[in-house]
Structure 1
Amino acid sequence: MIAIDFSFRDWQWQYQISTTFFICVIVPTVYYIHAKYITKYPNNYNRLEEPIKLVVPIPQEAKPHWKGKRLHPPNLSIRIPNEPTKIQSYCPATGQLLGVFSVTSKEEMNQQIINGKRAQLQWKNSSFILRRKVLKTLSRYIIENQEDIARIACRDSGKTKLDASMGEIMVTLEKLNWIISHGERSLRPSQRPGPSNLLIGLMKNGEVRYEPLGVVAALVSWNYPFHNLLGPIIASIFTGNAIIVKCSEQVIWSSKWFVDLIRLVLKSLDIDEDLVQLCCCFPEDADYFTSHPGLSHITFIGSKPVAHKVVESAAKELTPCVVELGGKDSVIVLDDVKNFEALSSVILRGTFQSAGQNCIGIERVICLPKAYEKLVDIFTERLSDFRIGSDIDQLDEIDMGAMISDNRFQNFEELIEDAVSKGAKLIHGGKPYQHPNYPQGHYFEPTLLINVEPHMRIFQEEVFGPILTMIKATDIESAINLSNSTEYGLGNSVFGSNFTQLNNIANQLESGNVAINDFATFYVAQLPFGGIKKSGYGKFGGEEGLTGLCVAKSIVMDKPLLRWLGIATAIPPAIDYPIKDDKKAWRFVRSLNIAGYDNRVWEIIKAFEKLAKS
C-alpha cells in the first residue's frame, strides 16, 4: 500500500491507494484511452498549435561560478555620475556588475509606438490557434528551462531559486496554461438578454464583442522581474494587442533577456517581433511615455506615490489605467486551528518569500490569544535558524536572499525603533546584515516583532521587507476591525476550522482578495486580481484581465427569424418625421411604454389595442 498524505493547513486528508490497483487498472486505462482515441484521432487544432522547439543560450552572468567585477560604494548604484542616459545594472546579492544600458529616448519611444501599431494591425485578426501556439511555445520553453530562468531572475533581483520557482515560474506557467485552456471562451461574444421591453425584446438580440485596444503599455515593478514582465505580455498577445513594457530600471538586465526571448518566439513563428517591445528610463523621464497619445491602456504595478504621477500623466490623454499598488495584508488566525506548526510554515513563506518584497506578502499576523502564544513560540524558534545569502553562488542551503537595494534599510530600522518605543518587543533581527562573502550585498535580517498595536507606524505603513509583525486580538470582531483599520485593501487570509465562520469573516474583510485556510491562492487561481482603497483599482488576471484589454463593443441586431423572413424593424408611421399628428404620436409612444413595461395584463391588452389602431 502507498500512503499519500494531502495536508491542507488545518486539516489532513489521507488516502490509501493500492499499488496493485494503480498499476493494473489506472495506468492501463489511461494508456488505452490515449492510444485508441487521442493518438488515433488527433485533434487538428492541437496539431496546428504544437509548440516549436527553442534553444536560447543562458547569459554568462547567470551561469554557475560566474566571476564578475564587484562594485563598491559609492559606485554601487544603478546611476552613473555624469551619465544621465545610462543605467548600471548589478546583482544586489553580490554587488557584481551585470552591464550598462542606454535609457529609451523620447524619439525611440515614438518609434516603438509606431512599430507596435504596425505589428498590431496584422496581429489583431490572428486566430486563437496561432495565439495559443505562441503561448504553448513559451510555456514549453519555460518548463524545459526552469533553472536557467530562475538563475537569471535571481541574478538581477537577489532572491533565491526556490523563491523564483514559486513566485516567478509557477505563477507564469499557471497564467499561460489558464489562458491556453480558457482564454478563447473568455473572449467569445457575450450573449445578452437584450431589451426588457416586451415588443422590442421580441425583435432584437444583444451581444458584447471583445476587440483589441491597440498598443497597450505596462509599467511593472522589479520584485518579480520575470513574472511581472510576462504577465501583461501574455494577456496582451492573447487579446490581439501590441504591448510596450516599461521595466523597472532596477532589473533592466534580466528584463531585456526575457523580452528578447519572447521576441524570438514571435520571430520563430513569423510574427512581427514589434508586437512586444521593452522601454526603460528613469522615473523622472517616464511622463513622456505615460502621456503618449499612441497608448490605449496602461497597467501599472508599483507604489502609491509613483501611481499618482502615472495616473496624472495618463489623464492628459484620458488613457485608462489599471493600478495595482502595495498592501498591508493581514492573516487572521483563530484559536481553533488544528495544526499551528503547519500554519507557521505558510506564514513564514508568505512573509519572507523574496525577502518580503511582495505586494501580497503577509505584513500583519493578527491572532486570537491562544493562537498568538503558540505562533510566537514557534516563530521565535524557527527564525533563529534562517540562513541568508545567494544560493546561485553558494553551495550552502539558503532560506532568504538579498533585497533589491538598501535604500529602505533606514526606514525599516526607524519603523522597528518606533514600535519598540511604544511597547512592541523585538525578538529577532531588526538590522542590516553584512554577508561575510558578499559584503556589498543588500541583506536585512529576518525580523520578528511582537506586541504590535495600531498606534505604531509599522502597523499602518507598508514595510515591503522581511519583518514579521504579530498582533493580538481579543476576539473575532476585534481581529476583523484590526485587519480593516489601514488605508490599504489588497489581500487577506483567514485560518480556522469552522468554514461557515471563516466565510463570514471573509465577507467582512475590506480587500480585493481573500484566501480561506491558505495564503494568496486567489492569485494562482487566475481570479481577477486587484485591490481597493489605497491598494489601487481595476483588475488583471482571469477573464476580467483579458476583457479589460479589449474594447467591449455592444452589438444589437434583429433576431435570426426576422432576418430569415426578411422582416426589418422600421419607424412606425405615427412617429415618423415630419410628425403628422403630435397627439396621435404621443398616444402611440405612451401605449408602447405600457405594452413594453407594465406588468398588469389588462393594461397591456388595452395598450396593444391602441397600438393596433395607430
Structure 2
Amino acid sequence: MDCLRQHLSQCDSLPIVIAVIAGSAVLYILFFRNRSLPAIRFELKPPAESLPGWRANEILDEPSIFIKDRQAPVTTPDELSDKLQRARSAQATWSLTTFEQRRQVLRTLNDFIISHQREICQVACRDSGKTMIDATLGENGEQALMDDKRDPGFMMMYKRARVVYQPRGVVSALVSWNYPFHNTIGPVISAIFSGNGIVIKASEHVAWSMSYWEQIVKRALNVCGHNPDLVQFVTEVGKLVMKSASSNLTPVTLELGGKDCAIVFADSDMSQCIPVLMRGVIQNASQNCIGIERILVQDAAYDNFVSEMTRRIKAVRLGAILDDQPNQVDCGAMILSNSFGRLESLIADAVSKGARCLAGGHPYIHPLHPKGQYFEPTLLVDVTPDMDITRNETFGPIMVIMKFSDEQDVLNKVHSSPYGLGSSVFSGNQARASRIALKLRVGMTNVNDFGVNYICQSLPFGGGFGRFAGPEGLRALCVEKAFTEDRFSFIKTPIPPIVDYPIQDTEKGFKFTQQIVAFAYSDSWWASIKAGLNLGKLSM
C-alpha cells in the first residue's frame, strides 16, 4: 500500500481512477452483487519487452508496422473463417449459461486486472508510448437484459406481452489503438455478459500488446471451465465497416470521431476548471475520442485564461515512462508519426488566418530518444471558426482556444463544426451551464467537468451511430424479440365469421373492422359502447 501511495504521489491519480473504474472496477460494480461463484486466481507472465529498462537490439530510423519481415502477422480469410466457426461453436454453449456463471468469469478477469495493473500498464506503454498514468486508465447489467414486460393494451388484455433480449450470437468489435487494453476489454465484457461470442479486430498499430490481452481473457474463461474459443482476436485492417455491413443488414454501432468543445464562462471556478481542461488536452497526448479539441472562453476571462494556459503548456515534459525518470514525464509519444505533417499543416493554416501559436507547434526531438514519435505540447489562441483546425480532428497535444461574447455567440461557434461527440460547459451559474449543455448538438455533455459521463457506467457512450455502455450498449448486443402468450389458457384470439377468409361481404366486413377500431380507441366510454352495440348488430 505504501508503495502504491508513493507511486500515486508522483503522478496525478485521475487517469488511474478513470481506467480502473472504466475497466476493472466496472466489473466489480456491475457484477459482484449476490456473489456466489468466486473468482479463480491465475498467473500469466508478461512479455519481457514490457519491463522497464528493456532495450531493443536495434533502433529503427523510420519505425513502422509495415517493415518487411517484421510486421505483425495478418489473419488470412481462411483463418478468420476458422476463428468465426470456433466462436460460434463456443457461443452455442455459452448462451445457455446463467448470469452468475458469466459473472464468475468477469470476477476472475477483474481480480487478475486489479492484481496486475502495473504489468498491464507496462505492456500498453511499451506498445503505444503512453505514460503509466494514461495506461491505467454491474449491478444493473442483469436488469438491463431481463425480460421487459409491456402493456398489451385494451384489445389484447387477455395476452401477456414482453420484450425478450436474446444474444445475437457472435459479435465483432473493431477497436482503436489509443487505449489498447481498455478498448479491448470493454467490448469483451459486454459481449460475454450478454451471452455472445466475440471477434476482436485489433488495430495493427498495437498488435503486439493484443496477444497478451488475448491470453488474459482466454485464461479467465478456461480456469472457470468455459471454452476460450468464445473470444477470438484477429489483426486485419477494417475498411468501410458501415458500407460492408449494410450489404447484408448487419447491425452496427459506430463510435466516430469528435471535435469536443469545452465552454468556459467568465464566472467559472478557474482553480477547478483549468486543471480539468489541461487533463482533457494533455492526457494520452490527446489521443482520445473525447479529448478536448476546442476551448471557448468568454471574453472577460480570456486574457487571464490564456496567460495561465501558456505557463502550463510550456511546462509539460515529454518522455518515455519506462526508460526515463517517472517523475520527469507528463506526456508520452504518439502512436502515429505520419500525423505530424497534418498537425503542422493545421497549425500553419490557423496562424496564416490570424491565430497565435504561443507554445510548441512542431515535432520534438527527444535527447535520449531521437527516433521517438513526440510532438510538442502546443497552445494555439485567437482561433476562429474559419480555420481548418476547428473542423478537423487533431488527435494530438494541441490546445485550441477561442473567444466568445455571449450564449448565442458560443452556440454558433460550437456548431460551426460538424462533430458532436462529447462536450463540457463550465460556469458558476449551474442553471446556465445546464441550459447551454442541453442546447449543444452532441451525444454527451458534462457540466463543470470533463469526460466523467464515461465513468458513470450506467450511461450510454457515443455520438455517432448507436451507443455502447449502459443498458443501451448491452441491449445493442441482443436481438429485441417481441413476445406474446395467452394470459389464460381458456381464452384464445377468435376470428369472427364476418371477417373469416374467404370473406363473404367485404363492405360489411369493413364496417365491422371500423367498429372494432372505434370500440378500442374512442376517447369516450359512450362512443365505445355505441361501437360495441354496432359490432353486435353486424355479427348477426
Q: Select the residue among 479, 488, 510 that pairs with 2:441.
A: 510
Aligned to 2:480: 552
Q: Structure 2 counterpart of 1:406, which letter?
A: S
Cα separation, 2, equivalents of 1:478 and 1:140: 50
Structure 2-normalised TM-score? 0.91
Cα separation, 2, equivalents of 1:133 and 1:599: 52
Three-state SS of the structure 2 residue aligned to 1:260 is helix
Q: How many residue pairs get matched? A: 505
Aligned to 1:108: 79
Cα separation, 2, equivalents of 1:189 and 1:457: 49
Q: Structure 2 counterpart of 1:571, which letter?
A: I
Does residue 105 of structure 2 align to residue 134 of structure 1? yes
Aligned to 1:51: 39
Q: Select the residue among 261, 284, 297 that pairs with 1:367.
A: 297
Aligned to 2:531: 607
Three-state SS of the structure 1 residue aligned to 2:482 is strand
Alignment of 1:348-497 (within 5 A): 348-397=278-327, 398-497=329-428
Three-state SS of the structure 1 residue aligned to 2:423 is strand
Alignment of 1:118-267 (within 5 A): 118-166=89-137, 178=138, 181-195=139-153, 198=154, 200-267=155-222
Query: After superposition, what is the alpha-carbon deviation per residue over 1:579-612, rounded to whole angstroms, capped at 9, x for unaligned?
Result: 3444543333222111101113222112112333
Cα separation, 2, equivalents of 1:549 and 1:182: 16
Asked whether the equivalents of residues 530 and 540 of structure 1 are also in contact (C-alpha less than 8 Å), the reply is yes
Deviation, structure 1 residue 574: 2.5
Three-state SS of the structure 1 residue aligned to 2:321 is coil
Query: After superposition, what is the alpha-carbon deviation per residue over 1:71-121, rounded to whole angstroms, capped at 9, x for unaligned?
Result: 3224x211123x5xx62xxxxxxxxxxxxx321111100101111110111
Three-state SS of the structure 2 residue aligned to 1:139 is helix
Structure 1-normalised TM-score? 0.80
Deviation, structure 1 residue 382: 1.4
Does residue 209 of structure 2 align to residue 277 of structure 1? no
Aligned to 1:94: none
Cα separation, 2, equivalents of 1:44 and 1:349: 33
Aligned to 1:329: 260
Asked whether the equivalents of residues 175 and 202 of structure 2 are also in contact (C-alpha less than 8 Å), the reply is yes
Aligned to 1:79: 66
Does residue 501 of structure 2 align to residue 543 of structure 1? no
Aligned to 2:502: 578
Q: Structure 2 counterpart of 1:382, which letter?
A: R
Three-state SS of the structure 2 residue aligned to 1:595 is helix
Asked whether the equivalents of residues 422 and 456 of structure 1 are also in contact (C-alpha less than 8 Å), the reply is yes
- Identity among equivalent positions (%) equals 42
Q: CA RMSD in A?
A: 1.6
Three-state SS of the structure 2 residue aligned to 1:51 is coil
Query: After superposition, what is the alpha-carbon deviation per residue over 1:391-425, rounded to whole angstroms, capped at 9, x for unaligned?
Result: 12222421000000310111111111111111111
Query: After superposition, what is the alpha-carbon deviation per residue over 1:42-80, rounded to whole angstroms, capped at 9, x for unaligned?
Result: x995222x1111211121111122222233224x21112
From the superposition, tell whether residues 78 and 555 of structure 1 become closer, same or farther in structure 2 (CA, over 3 Å).
Answer: same
Asked whether the equivalents of residues 248 and 280 of structure 1 are also in contact (C-alpha less than 8 Å), the reply is yes
Asked whether the equivalents of residues 316 and 377 of structure 2 are also in contact (C-alpha less than 8 Å), the reply is yes
Aligned to 2:223: 268
Deviation, structure 1 residue 477: 1.2
From the superposition, tell whether residues 405 and 191 of structure 1 become closer, same or farther in structure 2 (CA, over 3 Å).
Answer: same
Three-state SS of the structure 2 residue aligned to 1:322 is coil
Q: Structure 2 counterpart of 1:194, which letter?
A: P
Cα separation, 2, equivalents of 1:599 and 1:469: 57
Deviation, structure 1 residue 376: 0.7
Query: Which stretch has the larger CA shift, 584-593 or 468-477?
Result: 584-593
Deviation, structure 1 residue 483: 1.0
Does residue 33 of structure 2 align to residue 68 of structure 1? no
Aligned to 1:342: 272
Q: Which has the higher strand share?
A: 1
Three-state SS of the structure 2 residue aligned to 1:194 is coil
Query: After superposition, what is the alpha-carbon deviation per residue over 1:487-517, rounded to whole angstroms, capped at 9, x for unaligned?
Result: 1111110000112111110111011110111
Deviation, structure 1 residue 438: 1.0
| Uncovered stretches (5+) of structure 1, i.e. residues with no partner | 1-42, 88-100, 167-177, 287-305
Q: Structure 1 counterpart of 2:51, which letter?
A: K
Three-state SS of the structure 2 residue aligned to 1:493 is strand
Cα separation, 2, equivalents of 1:223 and 1:132: 28
Three-state SS of the structure 2 residue aligned to 1:131 is helix
Asked whether the equivalents of residues 123 and 241 of structure 1 are also in contact (C-alpha less than 8 Å), the reply is yes
Cα separation, 1, equivalents of 2:168 and 2:380: 47
Q: Select the residue among 518, 522, 538 that pairs with 2:453.
A: 522
Cα separation, 1, equivalents of 2:317 and 2:146: 50
Deviation, structure 1 residue 310: 1.7
Asked whether the equivalents of residues 334 and 367 of structure 1 are also in contact (C-alpha less than 8 Å), the reply is yes
Q: Structure 2 counterpart of 1:456, which letter?
A: M
Q: Structure 2 counterpart of 1:224, which letter?
A: Y
Deviation, structure 1 residue 193: 1.7
Asked whether the equivalents of residues 158 and 491 of structure 2 are also in contact (C-alpha less than 8 Å), the reply is no
Cα separation, 1, equivalents of 2:42 and 2:148: 37
Asked whether the equivalents of residues 46 and 212 of structure 2 are also in contact (C-alpha less than 8 Å), the reply is no
Asked whether the equivalents of residues 51 and 136 of structure 1 are also in contact (C-alpha less than 8 Å), the reply is yes
Asked whether the equivalents of residues 259 and 391 of structure 2 are also in contact (C-alpha less than 8 Å), the reply is yes
Cα separation, 2, equivalents of 1:591 and 1:314: 45
Aligned to 2:250: 319
Cα separation, 2, equivalents of 1:132 and 1:496: 41
Cα separation, 2, equivalents of 1:568 and 1:316: 41
Cα separation, 2, equivalents of 1:351 and 1:441: 20
Cα separation, 2, equivalents of 1:248 and 1:71: 23
Asked whether the equivalents of residues 334 and 476 of structure 1 are also in contact (C-alpha less than 8 Å), the reply is no
Three-state SS of the structure 2 residue aligned to 1:323 is coil
Deviation, structure 1 residue 386: 1.1
Deviation, structure 1 residue 371: 2.5
Q: Structure 2 counterpart of 1:209, which letter?
A: V
Q: Select the residue among 510, 517, 521 that pairs with 1:593.
A: 517
Three-state SS of the structure 2 residue aligned to 1:501 is helix
Deviation, structure 1 residue 158: 0.5
Three-state SS of the structure 1 residue aligned to 2:244 is helix
Deviation, structure 1 residue 191: 1.0
Query: After superposition, what is the alpha-carbon deviation per residue over 1:108-143, rounded to whole angstroms, capped at 9, x for unaligned?
Result: 001011111101111111100011111111111111
